[in-house]
Structure 1
Amino acid sequence: MYFAMNRFRVALGQEEAFEAVWKGRDSSLAEMAGFIEFHLLRGESVPEEGYTPFISKSTWESKDAFLAWTKSENFRAAHRSAGDNRAMYLGPPKFEGYTVVEGA
């Protein structure tokens, strides 16, 4: 199993707009072989640094299944307008990928 996560620092006051972008997009993840589930996670705001952390987390059967998604037309379509929302973020998202070592 493979977890793919992007960490976002969303500018204070932009949280609802950021969530609306994610809720309104058609990612077609469910159509991809090896896709298991997706969650958008919202952390506690960090007022002294001016942001609220968010994580987009997708779960895949394997790293190869995730990599196939990143090379697909569905991926390109889902991320086509990502640059339109840069004003919401403090810097680019940070990707982290993890392979399960042990789990129940």
Structure 2
Amino acid sequence: MFLAMNRFIVPLENAEAFEDLWLNRDSRLHEMEGFVEFNMLRGPEGDGHRLYASHTIWRDEDSFRAWTRSDQFRAAHANAGETRKLHAGAPQFEAFHSIQTKTAKG
């Protein structure tokens, strides 16, 4: 399993618009082979901003890399430059390979 995350620092006055953007966007992730799950996470508030993280789970890193080269990725990020004003600086990308998974069923 491969996890890809982007962390966003969003000024409090932009938090509602930032959430609306994510809640209403067509990510097209579901069209991709190897896509497992997406979560948009709202984190703590502090110093006039709120932390957010987009979190995707992929079957493997190759599936994630295929997404970043796909037409679906380009379509989902076509207006990214226009929305940068909602968060401070560039998102911080983080990637992880799972070394253990546990579920509620054991």
Same fold (TM over 0.5): yes
Encode CA deviations 1:22-55: one digit per residue, 9 max, x unaligned: 1111111011000001000001111x2x210000
TM-score, normalising length from structure 2? 0.93
Whole-angstrom CA distance in 2 between matches of 1:81 and 1:14: 17
Q: Could you say what the CA RMSD is over the residues aligned between the two structures, in angstroms?
A: 0.8
Sequence identity (%): 46
Is there any run of 5+ residues in structure 2 with no aligned partner, and where? none
Show the 5 A alignment for 1:71-90: 71-90=69-88
Q: Quick one: which of 28, 48, 51 aligns to 2:49?
A: 51
Q: Quick one: which of 45, 67, 70 aligns to 1:69?
A: 67
Structure 1 letter corresponding to 2:78: R
Q: Secondary structure of the residue that 1:91 maps to in structure 2? A: strand
Is there any run of 5+ residues in structure 1 with no aligned partner, and where? none
Structure 1 letter corresponding to 2:62: D
Q: Secondary structure of the residue that 2:100 maps to in structure 1? A: coil
Displacement after TM superposition at 1:96 (Å)? 0.3
Aligned length: 102
**Counterpart for residue 60 of structure 1:** 58
**Counterpart for residue 10 of structure 1:** 10
Whole-angstrom CA distance in 1 between matches of 2:27 and 2:84: 19
Displacement after TM superposition at 1:76 (Å)? 0.4
